[in-house]
Amino acid sequence: MRLQFFGKLSIAEQLDEGYRIGIRRHNEEVTKNRHILSRIIDCVKFCGAFELALRGHNESESSDNPGIFRGLVDFVASLDGVLKEHLENASVFKGTSKTVQNELLDCMLSVMREHIIQEAQNSDFLSIQADETTDIATQCQLVLVLRYIDGKSNVQESRAINTVFEHREGLIRCFETIRDSGDFDPVTTREAGGFAMLLEDQDFNFFLQLFHNIMPHVDILYAKLQKKDIDSVHIKGSIQQFQQDIQKIRNSLHSLVNQSSEGASQPKRRRLLSPDVHERIATEVCDTILQHTMERFCFTSHLVSATLLQADRFEQYTVAFPEDALSRTLKAYPVLNGSKLKTELSLIYCKEEFRTCCGAVDLLQLFKENNLEEVFSETVTLLKILITTPMTTAEAERCFSTLKRVKTFLRNSMTQERLNALAMLSMEKRMVTEIIDFNQKVIEKFASQKQRRAKLIFK
């Protein structure tokens, strides 16, 4: 019988049972090591997501303050027998040193960046917003905010006045009780008497009433501007509504002044402001708010395209088509087909179901849910442009707030690479949970960085 072998496979690989057992044992050890490393990665992710300092004053075994990371690893080990055995017996690779922490953070940052880049490459439009600040160590930090629409059509980016007004009578009684009880020290008694007198002051009450009327509208606009999915269509309508509300308050100032002056006590210690002065100052306040709103949110000419997709104007546009806004939009975005866009918009304006949409994001979602993207292709392109265009700097400011919480006075010697990774883990905690097999991707990068004594690669 004649035997013949094809290829370059050795007889040892085919027949040697010891070789196969060795491979199986190696892969079992790799599986165990990956399980241990995955638990350590979970601990690093937890500290990063909640902006906790990983390292402690002394990370030795006998230390009373080994840090949050070591404490968390020990806690997880109390629930995971494999990790507990590893920490007690490991001599080659324990996985808790600051070097391993930094290497894992680098790998996590790399996985997150690759995910963001892939999503940005798959989107039709991308906007980049840059801002800078100085951290606690007086180093300049640059923030880049990428705004785009992902494959799921998702956009990827306290006040005390009302309390004082609503509880004014209760506060007065509280301060009077403190003032008259004789149970408090002279400084507290004097301050309580001053607050009670202030809350009874006619001028103070007038301006308290004025700002009590103004601040709810400020809070509503503030909440809308803080949303990541805010778009030019929605923001323009919100600002117009805010300006109308402030104008209504301005127009009703005369009745507010009369209401405030009726039944008010007249203290004799100082001269009160006259009703005319009240009205004049209140008018200046409203005018200042309106003027600053116009200056802060003055839109450039290309954003007039937002008016084409304001649902509250669709019925008006069925009578008179907005030719001027369309021509300026086509001039700003030559990529659009003018005649096709006009035909699509005319059809949208006359359909009742489109008038219930609130903002560009809702309209785009309606097109996707009903498979109308190809039918209204030019309108969808315009919607993507409007949604991608950033309207506020709120996202960059949120990044700066995260930076200040991560790099504090006690952690001011943190390296830039570690800061980047920890800040990204905090700001993109939702993305980390949504990335499929995030821990395994981090382990693959960690294992391929350099030759390691711990076995982490399958054969």
pLDDT tens readout for residues 61-84: 777 778 889 889 989 999 999 999
Asked if the model's pLDDT at residue 1 lies above 50, the reply is: no
Quote the tokens at residue 406: 């991560």
Number of compact structural domains in the chain: 4
Q: Is 444 a member of any domain?
A: yes
Q: Is 381 a member of any domain?
A: yes
- In this structure, the answer to whether residues 335 and 374 fall within a common structural domain is yes
Domain final residue, candidates 350, 371, 388 = 388
- In this structure, the answer to whether residues 223 and 195 fall within a common structural domain is no
* 3-state secondary structure at position 372: coil
Could you give phi then psi for residue 155, rounded to 5 degrees?
A: -80, 125
The predicted-structure confidence for 204-223, as pLDDT tens digits, reads as follows 888 888 888 888 888 888 77
What average pLDDT does this structure show over 241-269?
77
- In this structure, the answer to whether residues 91 and 22 fall within a common structural domain is yes
Q: Is 184 a member of any domain?
A: yes
Cα–chain center distance at 73: 29
Distances in whole angstroms, Cα of residue 321 to Cα of each of 316, 347, 364: 8, 11, 21
Distances in whole angstroms, Cα of residue 146 to Cα of each of 118, 261, 269: 12, 53, 59
Q: Quick one: angle between helices 253-261 and 275-296, nearest 10?
A: 140
- In this structure, the answer to whether residues 212 and 168 fall within a common structural domain is no
The predicted-structure confidence for 273-324, as pLDDT tens digits, reads as follows 788 888 899 899 999 989 988 877 765 555 678 788 888 888 888 888 988 8
- In this structure, the answer to whether residues 330 and 312 fall within a common structural domain is yes
Which position has the token pair 């669709």? 314
- In this structure, the answer to whether residues 252 and 232 fall within a common structural domain is yes
Quote the tokens at residue 372: 């109308």
Q: Is 185 a member of any domain?
A: yes
Which position has the token pair 């003027």? 291
- In this structure, the answer to whether residues 237 and 284 fall within a common structural domain is yes
- In this structure, the answer to whether residues 95 and 177 fall within a common structural domain is no
Q: How many CB atoms lie within 10 A of CB 358?
A: 12
- Could you tell me the residue range of the domain that residue 185 belongs to? 159-200
Q: Is 119 a member of any domain?
A: no
Asked if the model's pLDDT at residue 399 lies above 60, the reply is: yes
What residue type is 405 in one-letter code?
Answer: R
- In this structure, the answer to whether residues 256 and 333 fall within a common structural domain is no
Domain final residue, candidates 240, 275, 298 = 298
Q: Over 411-446, what HEC string results?
A: HCCCCHHHHHHHHHHHHCHHHHHHCCCHHHHHHHHH
- In this structure, the answer to whether residues 15 and 106 fall within a common structural domain is yes
- Describe the strand order of the beta sheet including 155-156 as a list of residue ranges: 127-134, 140-149, 155-156
Q: How far apart are CA 444 and CA 449, in angstroms?
A: 9
Q: What is the DSSP letter of 350?
A: H
- In this structure, the answer to whether residues 340 and 367 fall within a common structural domain is yes
- In this structure, the answer to whether residues 263 and 306 fall within a common structural domain is no
Indicate the range of 10-14, 71-75, 177-181, 253-257 predicted with least confidence. 10-14
Q: How many CB atoms lie within 10 A of CB 379?
A: 25
Q: Is 154 a member of any domain?
A: no
CB 129 within 8 A of CB 390: yes
Instruction: Please state whether the predicted TM-score (pTM) of the whole model is above 0.95.
Output: no
Q: Is 115 a member of any domain?
A: no
Which position has the token pair 């799921």? 152
Q: How far apart are CA 198 and CA 212, in angstroms?
A: 17
Q: Is 132 a member of any domain?
A: no
